[in-house]
Chains A and B, each alone.
Chain A
Amino acid sequence: MKKLLSTLLFIAIISGCSSNVKLNDVPVEERSGANPNTAAASSSVSSLDARGIGSLNGIKPGPTGVANVVYFDYDSYTVKPEFQAVLEAHARFIKADGTRRANIEGHTDERGGSEYNLALGQKRAEAVRRALNALGVADGQMEAVSYGKEKPSMTGNDEAAFSKNRRSEITYR
């Protein structure tokens, strides 16, 4: 218990300069028995213990009754006007409570390489982040990340599936 508390304190102290997303204690198995190493002692974020703190995997509810997905056209990173109302609802939700942290995940369809698609997904996440920023949301309350093509919401090799995978999702930690 003491170790957990001191770890929590450590994380709390350095969380100001870290990524908004905590490395939760997900059930990742490390083979060959040994515990994960902590990085070289440095004040940069790379020194976070890989296991982080134990928590409930950190997903919190967003604004009730509001969709949390923005879809994109092929080869596009432009947020379409039809999603403006959704973004406004999320912006209000985030601004209502300064402790809220929005995690914006960008995704692509499954065509192409993993790393280039990761970068394309990042553009989609950042497009939504900029749109929320323009609605008055502070940078410190948002983080834009990408899953690239790794987590399609619909499997399939046709445009119906592709169009559901070109998206940004907004979740809360």
Chain B
Amino acid sequence: MSYLVVAADLRLASHQISDLIYLKLTGDKGVFSTRIAYVTKSNTGRYNLWVADSDGENAQSALASPEPIISPSWAPNGTQLAYVSFEARKPVVYVHDVASGKRRLLANFKGSNSAPSWSPDGRTVAVTLSRDGGSQLFLLDSQGGEPRRLTQSVAIDTETVFSPDGTAIYFVSDRGGSPQIYRMPAMGGPANRVTFTGNYNISPALSPDGRWMAYISRAGNAYKLHVMDLASGNASAITDTTADERPSFAPNSRLIVFATRQEGREALMTTTLDGRIKARLAGQGGDIREPNWGPFSKAQP
């Protein structure tokens, strides 16, 4: 197992991450055998969706396309990956069976289809659709079919994520005038605002243990990863980079992978929740973005 690190002094940090995981998970599966999905864009404008080990090694391309790919989202069973592809010259949601490489359309309604996220039982996929105008939240059976509309606002509602117990959905809405994160019952109902600091809070991710929410908050021109303690509502910025995007928790809730820019290039980083230990992932050449951390493998003992 090896990590590619940016500077020599992070080598020790990488081992510390390993030790931390091992200590916290004695007897449990570690995250070394989990996988992440991410997207690369080559200098020639070619996009690839990759499935790799959680340290970035052993990447296999699931999709190659001349058009963008965004928002890969692992199904809870780890065998399927939903994502948004622009190969039809509009955003369309696919579900990809990772082992066989077979894929099927999940959402190709009139307008844009995006932001897929899975319920914890794997039976429902929330998506953002503009079929009725605007960008609104819908629920789809994971096998496809007619969507059920979940929000009825004239604002932008997007970027859903289910709570780990499946009872709530967190999402981004600018119904209050600027993008903030809200929570609503998963079956529909009134939404409560969750973020109150700053005027731009997006890309929520929830730790599987139910304790934390990671998100991106803009301050000035900087887009920075924050972690909120859901019980208290207190949040901290945990990076010193200024172009952070799309955080995703490891299944043991101890690490976050996110996209950012370092030295002018796109990079994927993992960090502990307090931001003290970070590592840059080994990856493919070209720009790299849109990470999503897969679940524990069910096949493990």
Contact = CB atoms under 8 A, between A and B. Distances in A.
A148 B202 CA distance: 15
Contacts of B1: none
B61 A31 contact: yes
A166 to B, nearest CB: 16
Contacts, number: 182
Given A40-B145, A47-B105, A123-B156, A113 B64 contact: no
A103 B110 CA distance: 11
B109 interface: yes
Sort chain A's interface into a size bin.
Answer: 35 or more
Interface string B218-236: 1001010000000000000
Contacts of A115: 70-71, 114-115, 128, 158-159, 172, 202-203
A17 to B, nearest CB: 10
Nearest to A140: B110
B88 interface: yes
A44 B99 CA distance: 27
Interface string B129-157: 01001110000000111100000000010
Contacts of A33: 101
Interface in A1-48: 18-24, 26-40, 42, 44-48
Interface string A115-130: 1101110110010000
Contacts of B159: 113, 115-116
A147 B70 CA distance: 11
A147 B86 contact: yes
Nearest to B68: A150
Contacts of B107: 46
Interface string B191-206: 0000000001011000
B66 A27 contact: yes
Nearest to B89: A21
Which secondary structure characterizes the binding site on chain A? loop
Interface in B204-259: 216, 218, 221, 223, 245-246
Contacts of B221: 111
Contacts of B111: 19, 122, 143-145
A23 B156 contact: no
Given A32-B99, A40-B145, A113-B216, A23 B88 contact: yes
A115 B70 CA distance: 8
A32 B81 CA distance: 14
25 contacts: A19-B108, A21-B88, A23-B87, A29-B65, A30-B63, A31-B63, A34-B102, A35-B102, A36-B103, A39-B104, A39-B106, A44-B145, A45-B109, A47-B144, A113-B223, A115-B158, A115-B202, A116-B179, A118-B158, A120-B156, A122-B134, A145-B91, A146-B91, A146-B112, A147-B91
Interface of A: 18-24, 26-40, 42, 44-48, 50, 52, 58, 103, 105, 111-116, 118-120, 122-123, 126, 143-148, 150-151
